[in-house]
Structure 1
Amino acid sequence: MSETVYTPAEVEARLAAELPRWRFEDGWIRRTYRTSSWKGTLMVINTVGHLAEAAWHHPDLTASYAWVEVRLMNHHAKGITDKDFSLAKKIEEVVQWQPGKEDGGLEGTPQKDLRFAYVKYDDAE
């Protein structure tokens, strides 16, 4: 099965339109998620791992105490394809989900109490 590999200009345009917090660098689309602690870092890594395994499309990850960098490139196609954009969107949706901002019974983690906070949400920066 042949997959369309996007040109750098096409990648940049799609990121700007669809995933503005992601960047294109060294042939990968990348996103760094800030966390509040090692616990939060592990939660992000496990979330990305679950989504990647379910999608059967696997990113490269780099992590430290309070951040995780996710890098996507279609290894088989040797470039950025629709698979990369689709998985990036799902990762973004799940990692940035804040149940306390929705109607419903889920309140979300207390962000001001560092014992419980884990992701540093973009809109809180």
Structure 2
Amino acid sequence: MTAWRRKTADEVYAPQEIEARLEDELPRWSFEDGWIRRKYKTSGWKGTLMVVNTVGHLAETAWHHPDLTVSYAFVTVKLVNHAAKGVTEKDFALAKKIEEVLMWQPGKEEGAVLEGTPDDPRFKYLKYD
């Protein structure tokens, strides 16, 4: 049973609502220190830059800006609505879009005409969960 109710775009969710919502909708994300966050592992610097640029594009398009921690083989994305001073519907919406785009694997789709990257470490850039 869902332990949260959908709020308006700028209403802040309570910590227990955030935890329940993440469990329901974004199980690889966590709630820590007032932020929802996710660490994406990459295969190296090239993959890290691709993740950063993808997240940057999505965030700028949404006009909602995450904090990023960037290292050689990972990117941590942290979301909070700074104006509302907490986690809001905007954070969940952007997290879902980031997750959808970064975790997309075209070669795994039924009837896919796009192959996806070859199963070769030279071409992999993201470590899928």
Q: TM-score range by the shorter chain?
A: over 0.9
Correspondence 1:26 to 2:33: yes
Offset at 1:61? 0.2
Maintained 8 Å contact 2:9/2:90: no
SS of the residue corresponding to residue 5 of structure 1 reads: coil
Residues 32-79 of structure 1, C-alpha deviation per residue, up to 9 Å, x if partnerless? 000111100000000000000010000000011110000000000000
What is the RMSD of the two structures over their aligned residues, measured on CA atoms? 1.3
Matched residues in 2 for 1:104 and 1:116: separation?
Answer: 19
Offset at 1:3? 1.8
Correspondence 1:84 to 2:84: no
Structure 1, unpaired ranges of 5+? none
Letter in 1 for 2:90: K
Correspondence 1:121 to 2:128: yes
Offset at 1:2? 7.8
Matched residues in 1 for 2:121 and 2:103: separation?
Answer: 18
**Hey, what does 2:114 align to over in structure 1?**
106
Q: 1:1-125 maps to which residues of 2 (within 5 A)?
A: 3-102=10-109, 103-111=111-119, 113-122=120-129
Q: Structure 2 length normalisation: TM-score?
A: 0.90
Matched residues in 1 for 2:23 and 2:14: separation?
Answer: 14
Q: Structure 1 length normalisation: TM-score?
A: 0.93
Q: Percent identity?
A: 73
